[in-house]
């Protein structure tokens, strides 16, 4: 087996842009520190809405070229973060964006939501057994906010983590590997509330989203880790800008295609859901690898 870097982080996301919004600071930090950072994106985000009018023709109901375009945006974002290992689950275009919950696209052939978890998970098992991460980051069971592809990304990630550790499962996909720590993306409620207060005071966008629109908001007590650092947050903003069809960044704030302003969280937050915390009880970890021994 080829020699692996000492620290290995795997992130599983639904669409290009989710990784930069949720984990841009974290990915930039660990990449800069020499850790192996692997991003797996489950769809190309073909059903997204397009912000710049000049690119509106890419939309699924027109040229349907948004998927390939977003592959390029993702590559630019990864360059901004310093991440070199980014892949699509099963290869680009294997699973298609399912659209919002209840949309007709949910039931389309090849839609990620319309795929059996056990049909999708082996693609991730193979990656887990290759890159052998100690830490996995993904969404909570609601996908943070109920988008079908985010829910499915959660299910596939959790299922693949179990299957990858099982020596009886598909030995042809590599030697078994147990992921030491699994985290879900979170935002503490007080942080979200403070962010919206700053946004309203700055008046950066004419209309703003609400705390309820932010994925993964929970009571502060559930949050077990926080990763910050201004030097990495600049890269996060650059990565978000690279997703120009999806995100409009204005200073410390941004908007998606709904044009509702949101705070751009420089510090990112997590809930440890599997594995041993590497911080004393009642204290948040400041390193996702804390306590990882091998």
**Residues near Zn ion (CB under 5 A):** 14-15, 18
57 annotated ligand-binding residue: no
Q: Is 97 in contact with 68 (CB distance < 8 Å)?
A: no
Q: Which of 14, 225 has the CB closer to Zn ion?
A: 14
Q: Which of 20, 208 has the CB closer to Zn ion? A: 20
Contact assessment for residue 226 and residue 25, using Cβ atoms and an 8 Å cutoff: no
Which position has the token pair 């998970």? 121
Shortest reach from residue 15's CB to Zn ion, in Å: 4
SS3 content of the chain, % helix, strand, coil (to 5): 40, 20, 45
**Number of C-alpha atoms within 13 angstroms, CB side, residue 272?**
25
Min CB(158)–Zn ion separation in Å: 17
Lookup result for tokens 């009642």? 282
Find the residue with minimal CB distance to Zn ion: 15
Closest to Zn ion by CB, 17 or 266:
17
What gap in Å lies between CA 124 and CA 250, rounded to an integer? 35
The distance of closest approach from Cβ of residue 36 to Zn ion in the complex, given in angstroms and rounded to an integer, is 24
What backbone torsions phi and psi does residue 73 show, to the nearest 5 degrees? Answer: -60, -40
Other C-beta atoms closer than 10 Å to the C-beta of 205 total 18
Q: What is the closest distance, in whole angstroms, from the C-beta atom of residue 150 to Zn ion in the complex? A: 6
In this complex, which beta carbon is closest to Zn ion, that of residue 43 or of residue 134? 43
Residue 147 CB, nearest approach to Zn ion (Å): 6
CB nearer Zn ion, residue 269 or residue 289: 269
CA 118 to chain centre: 21
* Residue stretches of the annotated binding site: 15, 18, 150
* Residue stretches of the annotated binding site for Zn(2+): 15, 18, 150
């Amino acid at each position: 087996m080829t020699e692996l870097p000492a620290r290995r982080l795997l992130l599983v996301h639904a669409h290009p842009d989710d990784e930069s919004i949720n984990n841009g600071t974290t990915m930039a930090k660990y990449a800069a520190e020499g850790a192996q950072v692997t991003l797996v994106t489950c769809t190309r985000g073909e059903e997204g809405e397009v912000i710049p009018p000049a690119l509106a023709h890419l939309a699924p109901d027109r040229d349907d070229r948004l998927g390939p375009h977003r592959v390029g945006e993702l590559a630019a974002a990864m360059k901004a973060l310093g991440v070199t290992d980014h892949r699509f689950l099963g290869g680009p275009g294997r699973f298609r964006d399912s659209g919002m919950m209840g949309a007709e696209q949910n039931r389309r052939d090849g839609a990620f939501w319309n795929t059996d978890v056990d049909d999708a998970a082996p693609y991730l098992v193979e990656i887990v057994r290759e890159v052998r991460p100690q830490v996995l980051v993904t969404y909570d069971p609601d996908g943070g906010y109920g988008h079908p592809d985010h829910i499915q990304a959660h299910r596939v990630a959790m299922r693949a983590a179990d299957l990858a550790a099982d020596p009886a499962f598909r030995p042809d996909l590599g030697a078994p590997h147990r992921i030491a720590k699994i985290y879900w993306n979170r935002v503490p409620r007080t942080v979200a509330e403070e962010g919206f207060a700053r946004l309203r005071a700055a008046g950066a966008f004419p209309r703003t989203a609400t705390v309820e629109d932010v994925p993964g908001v929970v009571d502060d007590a559930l949050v077990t880790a926080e990763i910050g650092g201004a030097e990495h947050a600049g890269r996060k903003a650059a990565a978000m800008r690279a997703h120009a069809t999806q995100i409009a960044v204005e200073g410390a704030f941004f908007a998606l295609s709904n044009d509702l302003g949101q705070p751009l969280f420089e510090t990112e937050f997590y809930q440890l859901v599997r594995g041993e915390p590497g911080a004393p009880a009642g204290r948040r970890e400041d390193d996702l690898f804390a306590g990882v021994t091998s």
